[in-house]
Amino acid sequence: MIFQIIEDIFNAAKWPVAVVVFDKFVLQKIPIPEYVKKHHNVAKWKHEVGALTNATVLAVGAPIALYFSPAQSVMESPINTFGKALLEYSTVFYIYDSFKILVDRPFNRLLTAFFVLHHSICDLVLITCLYDKKYEGLVLTSLLMEVNSVFVHTRLLLKYSGNTENVIFPIVKLLNLVTNIPFRYYVGKYVIERMLTRPNYSRDAKWYFAMTSIGIISTLNILVLVRVFHQDFILPNKQKQKTL
């Protein structure tokens, strides 16, 4: 009985402890570029370092989990231990990141609301999924979107540190755009299609909640794509035309 209680406490605390400790003793110790300090982007830069780390973990982990158990992408198939660990880690990260955004205030109110809305929806889906053990495979498949997030956050880190004139930035901008379509649009499309193939008699409250959530996330993804495309490709061309 005692050992079971200890095991339950460990299982409940392992990811919160791991995320907080790694952030405090590893990510927060990464040297901050002088350009960032000079232009008061320290909070934004720190946030993107954490976000890039999370995106990298999921971008590498999700394909591995799906590769070794392809059936996980099916709607209600069993999920392996590694895949479940990724879902648990993601849940904790989004809660922790939301807390840090609200406390550190690295963004304006609109972006803060955007991130908190995104993270809240992700957490509700993840917690429901882990508790109910339904749609675990599809939620794990949704984490493939983080492949694009790697370039989203790399792009922002380069901007915040003033490295927009080097040869890397145009490559990252292009990869950000190119990976958006397959890893956000098509992954979202696949998840929605799998949900729609579920028989009508099985469409319970959780089904409608999942469909609403993926719809909101897909809408947010489109808004981000439009904003980034405008900033990286439309505005620079307009500025060039003005200088001619």
Residue 94's pLDDT is: 95
Residue 155's pLDDT is: 94
The span from the CA of 164 to the CA of 162, in Å, is: 6
pLDDT per position in the chain (244 positions), as tens? Answer: 565 555 555 566 788 889 999 999 999 999 999 999 988 789 999 999 999 999 999 999 999 998 887 666 666 666 888 999 999 999 999 999 999 999 988 888 998 999 999 999 999 989 888 888 778 888 899 999 999 999 999 999 999 998 888 899 999 999 999 999 899 989 999 888 888 887 765 788 888 888 899 889 989 889 888 888 888 888 776 665 555 4
The span from the CA of 3 to the CA of 9, in Å, is: 10
Residue 233's pLDDT is: 80
Contact present, 229 and 177 (Cβ < 8 Å): yes
Name 191's Cβ contacts closer than 8 Å, sequence gap at least 6: 138, 141, 142, 214
- Phi, psi (5° rounding) for residue 35? -60, -40
Neighbour count for residue 65 (Cβ, 10 Å): 24
Contact present, 32 and 162 (Cβ < 8 Å): no
